Structure 1
């Protein structure tokens, strides 16, 4: 081997370059490097076991089991399917000589307790053999999901495995579809004082999750992102609102918002992303005063079926009255998510013209997406006002009767900052307005000393010409269809 490759920094660069290659190249190459020599082996193995996809180790627990001596365990197969593990002799510490290195490499683990008996039996053996507190001491991200699984995924034996996966460096924890048994272990998680920064909890089968979840949330000190599907009580809400680190809040359902909060109360000082799914907009109206000074950049709403046009207007106007978001908001989304995805629109709430008018108050707004079963009240002039500052605009509803004409395409073509436009319209009526766009061929040729302003003008003229050609094609196609 060349002496240059004996330098650890160069060996690390080689490994990282391979890791960034396409998977069909990186995985076999890293695996070969790991078998080449110890200098490359450590770096290559780190890459192979790193990341969310675990692209090399698709079944990490099975691979880890095979690191143990072959006379210690055997895998049971029935009808060609691996279904269990037999321990053949007593375990001794020397059996860990090889596996220990690999157990410490695992940083990401996806575990579905009721998905496969084999993985569960392997974890149970590991929890029995390992002499330290956590099976994977370097684990940083854990996904534990019992969704769509069998009832035994919530048995005492299986749920108890969670405590053996709580590594001291764990910063990301996803608990999906858990029940009362797994939920009861949140007190154990809280007692470990883990540096959890990203948390997601879904406990659809739990009988009374609020108390356990509330106590757990109030034990976290570094939380940056939270997604939760259960109601959260006032104590938890007050605590979360005071966290200086919380940047993302994704709620499925409702919060019990503490009445002590007001527009003068400093809360959610770092909140950047707030998303609400299947939510009652009355709760959102009570929530808005708590984010009055938040640096909110993205606000996402999926209203429930009790929503009305008046409530939608109240939310948009209330948001536009907040001193923080009115300056920082970049993306606003209001969707009818479940019904739109299924192609079955229900409800009659819409977006009024007055609600649309409030959007002009947001000084930095660039992305707007509105989908409403009851339609969106706008015409060409209102749309022209919306396009003044936007890069992306999506207006979708099931009603095809609108006051938009084909002229809105000409209006859109004039806005060079616009990158994406989605409209629901019936083809429009009325004559096509005059374009008034100079062709790029009519722009004077620029010499080598052209100013930046002249070059920008030429680029804008070329862009407008291309856009107008696209508009003309749409109009021509529409006229043919109408005939």
Structure 2
């Protein structure tokens, strides 16, 4: 235990473990609960058994500096007495997530073991599993066959969360053997995350689904189309509440074509509450949703570069219960902007009104096409229960073209939105504050304000106005406002400086009110706000 570098970060627990008999076991359980490798356990074995070698790898932060990490190996054969201290501490490990050489390149800590060390541990282990009480396990090794085989000795009946990744065709058989052993080895498995490319393990997945009926969360990332039968088997899991599919196929087909046309014959996910689908094209999540009935789905998130948003909404309305959906997020990564279908936001917002219980909305609109005041006011009238609203353009990581400059909504529309949605807590929107005047800050006390709104984030298309008046307007609209953020990517230096002044003034206001500590703000300071009084 004295060799564990993590102990330096927990001096209080270390003191309890070494000096207080009553708290010794509890302190040791906390100290050993999370491990990032087997090095600490090996270093608790006899000192004449192992040795360390210094190794170097180029640092990602600087090509002229090498990062240092330790490589551990055995000096002799193991015997049964060498495992005594290992067993004493290994039984306390609950979460095991090994680091990789990439962590050393990024400046983190990493200890590597030679292949011979892995083989020695496998051949001389006194028990089938070397971490008998592990609950969460991440085993991500892309190209090492020995590490895949070693993964089988880490599997324990107590395991509830498992994350595996395999991408090398040479490791297919070892990966399949590891996956195939899960139904018998982990009967209480709740969470399973798999990442595989150029590897087909669908038969093994079918065995897992049929053998592990306690699965609640299933996460799958692949570059292959999935068989429709797999989706049907997933629907048979009685406790499945979360499904994550990241399918990156060239033909954008999440499932192989099926002939079922009768909706009543589609698999029904009675227990599913959350569905996340990421792909290159919206046709993939559309296909996934159309492949089954989702009567109690509450959280839906899709991410893609291209595709028809309207077709997606039609499928959602047909296969989901409009009354149960509470969270809807549509992400449109910036790198696919040139392929985006420039759907009018008005059509998208009209579709949102078909789901009356939506509380969390995250929609990224194409650059240069923001919703109008009328569209936003109509949305607020229909969905007054919104708690979190993100309705801004995609982050502009690349230069804008002339037709990609748009205007945000007016302050009048912003006022209507905030007042009609009294539960609103977080808002991200493109606004146009360039026309603000003195009257905009003189709101009568008879006006209804939002006492729940605490965070406003301004999109990249937001236009600034006078910093003092803008802040006064926002603080009057949301008296408990705590944070104003701004996406600086794609904005001009003038707009950036103007919004920075608004952010700085809010910070100064909260410092004077004793609600926030003063700190050295990383943005240019607006010294004029130090002498002004709050409006």
Compute the TM-score of the two structures, normalised by the length of structure 2: 0.67
Are the aligned partners of 2:409 and 2:431 in contact in 1 as well (CA < 8 Å)? yes
List alignment gaps of at least 5 residues for structure 2: 1-5, 57-67, 103-110, 248-252, 395-403, 455-471, 479-483, 485-493, 499-535
Task: Tell me which residue corresponds to 2:393.
Answer: 397
Are the aligned partners of 2:90 and 2:130 in contact in 1 as well (CA < 8 Å)? yes
Task: Tell me which residue corresponds to 1:383.
Answer: 376
Task: Tell me which residue corresponds to 1:409.
Answer: 414
Coordinate RMSD, CA, aligned: 3.8
Task: Tell me which residue corresponds to 1:276.
Answer: 277
Offset, 1:214: 4.3
Task: Tell me which residue corresponds to 2:91.
Answer: 104
Task: Tell me which residue corresponds to 1:446.
Answer: none
Task: Tell me which residue corresponds to 2:106.
Answer: none
Please show how residues 1-80 of structure 1 align to structure 2 within 5 Å: 27-50=10-33, 54=34, 60-77=37-54
- Whole-Å Cα distance in 2 between the matches of residues 114 and 81 of structure 1? 8
- Whole-Å Cα distance in 2 between the matches of residues 146 and 461 of structure 1? 46
Please show how residues 145-160 of structure 1 align to structure 2 within 5 Å: 145-146=140-141, 153-155=143-145, 157-160=146-149
Are the aligned partners of 2:166 and 2:175 in contact in 1 as well (CA < 8 Å)? no
Offset, 1:165: 0.9
Alignment deviations for residues 386-427 of structure 1 (CA, whole Å, 9 cap, x no partner): 223322222222643358434212223423322232223555
Offset, 1:293: 4.5
Please show how residues 39-438 of structure 1 align to structure 2 within 5 Å: 39-50=22-33, 54=34, 60-77=37-54, 82-88=70-76, 90-111=77-98, 117-118=112-113, 122-146=117-141, 153-155=143-145, 157-180=146-169, 181=171, 182-185=174-177, 186-204=179-197, 206-230=198-222, 231-253=225-247, 255-256=254-255, 259-260=259-260, 262-264=262-264, 265=266, 267-289=268-290, 292-305=293-306, 307=307, 311-322=308-319, 324=321, 326-337=322-333, 339=335, 346-373=339-366, 376=369, 378-387=371-380, 388-397=384-393, 399-402=404-407, 404-415=409-420, 416-425=422-431, 427=433, 438=444
- Whole-Å Cα distance in 1 between the matches of residues 362 and 85 of structure 2? 54
Q: Secondary structure at the match of 2:23?
A: helix
- Whole-Å Cα distance in 2 between the matches of residues 462 and 92 of structure 1? 64
Give the number of aligned pairs. 417
Compute the TM-score of the two structures, normalised by the length of structure 1: 0.74
- Whole-Å Cα distance in 2 between the matches of residues 260 and 433 of structure 1? 62
CA 1:175/1:279 → structure 2, altered by over 3 Å: closer, same or farther? Answer: same
- Whole-Å Cα distance in 2 between the matches of residues 247 and 209 of structure 1? 23
List alignment gaps of at least 5 residues for structure 1: 1-22, 148-152, 443-456
CA 1:359/1:458 → structure 2, altered by over 3 Å: closer, same or farther? Answer: closer
Q: Which of the pair is proportionally richer in helix?
A: 1
Offset, 1:269: 1.0
CA 1:146/1:379 → structure 2, altered by over 3 Å: closer, same or farther? Answer: same
Are the aligned partners of 1:317 and 1:355 in contact in 2 as well (CA < 8 Å)? no
